Chain A
């Protein structure tokens, strides 16, 4: 029984060598399909990571009531937000930061006293989800001495909605691309099967079972798909190496991405494995549709 898989691989290899143009066409089709899917997945993943990094700048501002003790409230806030960076910002420091952020327009604040702003405790909440931000805000508002908590509801909600839609659109796009790919590759591999119809007919004539006839086609599909996936992964890595420095130079947020962040290894493995899976699925569809005729 162990000989059969080896024999199927040997026959698949022989068929690939004997019909290189058919094999190149099949591999090329899978390559284009997997590369397209890889590009979309990498683009979506990068967009999500950029947006995540942007969301990482979210800070909750806890404004104190007049007369409240800043260190006491700061300690209470830190206890309610474990693991988060908590910073006490006295009113004077708050005013200085505001003036700094106004830049040339800082003169607008001339005559404004330090007591114009309340003391504040700032909590850094990188990557926090909207619901989590709301719950934390409610808990912080209940701390004695807290007058108001601002967590930038409007833009955080917009960001959350945008990310949800981007994820849904990305999944939909990948699904459509996956289906289109399976049909396209299956049709291409059907041509390969059709080109060998005489061989299949003769095989069946001499008593070959469908499994015997089909096995090398499945092996070929996996080999072509894995090769196409490998080439697509290499192409994606090449594109990343070429594009990331340019994108980082042109757009600030890209500079914050770690090297290789556009193509994490699970995505690259997915491209290679996905190529092999598409090759297997498409060749199974092609050969068994042909054998069922």
Chain B
């Protein structure tokens, strides 16, 4: 699904954001990407999401070398990827339903089908009664559930989440994590960037740790938690 071979990402005048990272994520995996701020987690997600290109090394996504993906093809690659952000990135002047419908509109699905799918998605995140509300009227946890629903709207093969619980309290964090875990159980590959150690302790999953742009460990969360108390 995702293969990185000696990937380096540098920005002018700064130390490498990623340095010689080699990493494979297979279909259906649930991976935590962890490390302190500035470790390169978000940069790695940006590379996977084709928002940035590696300075050197190879990145294969769904078996395709992203260096050979033209700018015009990037939207088609992104249609296989759902993304969740710490700040939700919902459009405040659109209703909850309209926000969730965005990925489906982009795919030019018939409106009736969009409506049906949106209602189903909102039901799955427990917000079907809020479909006509606007994001600012929702709590942070509810907004993030909407963002997850939007990310899953088009049944992506891969779900990327950048600090998805960073703005949430413990209860809301659990709600969002359960949604992501449920998506993974349905076959979606999930990669979550987080520095929340409680998540690693709670979920026994693969954990890839980065520090100063380098991959420093790759194993399950129990070992990680034990190694870095």
Contacts and interface: CB of A to CB of B under 8 A. Distances in A.
B79 to A, nearest CB: 4
A110 interface: no
Nearest to A204: B75
B105 interface: yes
A212 B105 CA distance: 10
A192 B93 CA distance: 15
B89 interface: yes
Question: B interface, how many residues as a size bin?
Answer: 10 to 19
A205 interface: yes
B106 A206 contact: yes
A115 interface: no
A206 B102 contact: yes
A177 to B, nearest CB: 36
B91 A208 contact: no
Given A199-B91, A202-B91, A207 B108 contact: no
Contact of A207 (B72, B76, B89, B110): B76
Nearest to B99: A202
Nearest to B93: A18
Residue in A4, A199, A202, A205 whose Cβ sees the most chain B Cβ within 10 Å:
A205
B106 A203 contact: yes
A209 interface: yes
Contacts of A7: 105, 108
Contacts of B89: 198, 201-202, 205
B207 to A, nearest CB: 26
B183 interface: no
A289 interface: no
A207 B83 contact: no
B33 interface: no
B150 interface: yes
Contacts of A210: 72, 75
Contacts of A204: 75, 78
B76 A4 contact: no
A207 B78 contact: yes
Interface of B: 72, 75-76, 78-79, 81, 83, 89, 91, 93, 102-103, 105-108, 110, 150, 154
Given A198-B91, A205-B83, 15 more contacts: A3-B110, A4-B108, A18-B93, A203-B102, A205-B78, A206-B102, A206-B103, A206-B106, A206-B150, A206-B154, A207-B78, A207-B81, A207-B103, A208-B75, A210-B72
6 contacts: A3-B110, A4-B108, A207-B81, A208-B75, A209-B72, A210-B72
